[in-house]
A and B are shown apart, each in its own frame.
Chain A
Amino acid sequence: MATPYSITITMDQNTVNKLVASGFKLYGFKGAKTTLQGGAPLIWFQTEKFSLTTEVSWTEQYQAYTSLSQIIPNGQIEASAAYNISLGQTLNVTNVSGTGQVVTGGTENAISINNKNTTPFTCGVSQVNSVTKVAKPLCAFPLYGLALDVLAPIELVMLEFATEAHNTGTVIYQAFSQAALIDLTSQSQIPVTFDINQGWSAGGTPSVRFFPAGTNLAPLLLKP
């Protein structure tokens, strides 16, 4: 059974009410480990469903995708072909439409996407909801012709409250607002708090770091 991960966000009623009154949404981003350059973080989720206690949870369940979308700021990446995949497997992209087959083999503890065509694509990894099977892309990288992209999803999540209106899958390079970067690799459940004026806090745990609005997200989320 895949490890369940969760972040519990606690807020007081004043904060919740003011977030709603101002039209804030909770945005989530999720990291990946890779040596690839030129990648972009994507909005993993955005929701208006939050309250005094809000739990964000997921398990290690992924898809590899190819896309014909361009990686441009505020552009939306839509997977045109997506396949369930596990760590240590490879998606061989065999058709110019971006379709292919998942095969065993490739870099251990990573997801490989091997383009057998000379057609370039955008590619990346999607996080799958183990209950609903809804899959949303986490990151986007260029997949050049005859190239091999290797990336490993990591349990690194960034949360922000923001009033911007963007869909999931949107390329975002800069933090909308103060952001909490939460590293769950050594601790699968982490509580954090948010206050409308004080921002994020996590009781001083080194697993949670904070970054101001405007911070460049790619180096924080897409790391070698």
Chain B
Amino acid sequence: MSPLISGCAVVAVTAAVSACARVIIAPHVEAQPQAEASELRFAPPPAAPPVASETYHVTIAMTADTAEALAASGFALMGFKAVGATDKAGVPLVWFRATHYSLSTAVTWHSRYQAYTATHATGSSASIDAMASYDIASGQVLEVQHPTGTGVVRLGGTPGAISFHNQTTTLFTCGISQYQAGVAAPIASFPLHGKSLQVAVPMERVLLVFATVLLEPGTPVRTSPGLGVLLDLGDAHERSVTYDINAGWRWGGHPWAQEVPPDADIVPLLIVSLPR
């Protein structure tokens, strides 16, 4: 899918750019209906209602020399997004990879999420990756009811967090997908052991990196593939930074950003440890 492009060399980068998303377990994430009421054996808690979302923007400004040099070298803008968790086995995934950027590039997303479960068939000569995704909001829980990773989203769980309750004995990978321009892409993955509970808290913190290494969306990444900037949006909803191919990232020295060197360990920056 092509990014939204407006005039004056302003480019909106969306996760839709990652239509070829390669998820660690399965690539294509789409909104799925919740389980039918007829499947419920007990009086269920109320189904999760839709939640209003907020919009966030990061604007990256660069000179024509930088934009042209980036393009000439085949750089891509890669995005990562943070989650809070108590599970130390979590790993960040490439959220988006975009080769569309220009003098002003806007990265926009909404506070809308999916919860996914994923499994991988072993011992096959084809790679077989199965995934189930559901729209979800903070304060809701995905109850995983079947070995396929399917289930139902309910109210309840840890306030402010997205919870996964595995009611089966099947080991899954699970995590949060972040919506951007109507398409959800996974941002983090965690193990979801049988009969266990996993909790992840969406955070408005993003890592932006220009890099030439080819990492498809959904790829687990532990070290920064290039020079990055870590941005906390907090209540601001908008941040502006500049990028120069030689001088790197600039943000006016504000406390809401920090530079992330190439090869830096990005796991603690993006899988933010919550108090147990």
A58 & B27 in contact (Cβ 8 Å cutoff): no
**Contact A8–B28 (Cβ < 8 Å):** yes
B32 pairs with A131, CB closer than 8 A? no
* CB-nearest residue of chain B to A157: B126
A66 within 8 A of B: no
How long is the Cα–Cα vector from A8 to B39 in the complex, in angstroms?
A: 26
Q: Are A131 and B30 in contact, with the CB atoms below 8 A?
A: no
- For chain B, the bracket of interface size reads 20 to 34
A-B contact count (CB 8 A): 118
- Chain A minimum-CB-distance residue to B151: A13
**A44 contacts B126, C-beta separation under 8 Å:** yes
A135 — nearest CB in chain B belongs to which residue? B125
Q: How many residues of A contact B (CB 8 A)?
A: 37
* Residues 17-43 of B at the A interface (beta carbon under 8 Å): 20, 26-30, 32-36, 39
Q: Which residue of B lies closest to A51 (CB)?
A: B130
| Interface-side segment among B97-105, B141-149, B159-167, B265-273 | B141-149
Nearest-neighbour CB distance to chain B for A21, whole angstroms, equals 9
Binding stretch for chain B, among A111-119, A121-129, A201-209: A121-129
Residues of B within 8 A of A49 (CB): 119-121, 128-130
A20 CA to B39 CA, complexed, in Å:
14
Chain B interface helix/strand/loop/mixed: loop
In the complex, the answer to whether B126 meets A56 with C-beta atoms within 8 Å is yes
Q: How far is the CA of A85 from the CA of B183 in the complex (A)?
A: 40
Cross-chain contact of A55 among B30, B32, B35, B128 (Cβ < 8 A): B128
Asked whether A45 lies within 8 Å of B132 as measured between CB atoms, the reply is: no
From the candidates A14, A17, A52, A54, name the one contacting B128 in the complex (CB within 8 A).
A54
Among A8, A28, A51, which residue has its beta carbon within 8 angstroms of that of B148? A51
A selection of 19 A-B contacts at a CB cut-off of 8 Å is A8-B28, A13-B34, A13-B36, A14-B36, A17-B39, A17-B146, A44-B126, A45-B121, A45-B124, A45-B126, A47-B128, A49-B119, A53-B28, A54-B128, A54-B129, A55-B130, A56-B126, A134-B125, A168-B124
Please give the residue numbers on chain B whose beta carbons come within 8 Å of chain A beta carbons, in ascending order.
20, 26-30, 32-36, 39, 117-133, 146-150
The 5 closest A-B pairs by CB, nearest first: A136-B125, A51-B130, A49-B121, A52-B132, A51-B132
Footprint of B on A, CB under 8 Å? 6, 8, 10, 12-14, 16-17, 20, 26, 28, 44-45, 47-58, 126-129, 131-132, 134-136, 168, 189, 191
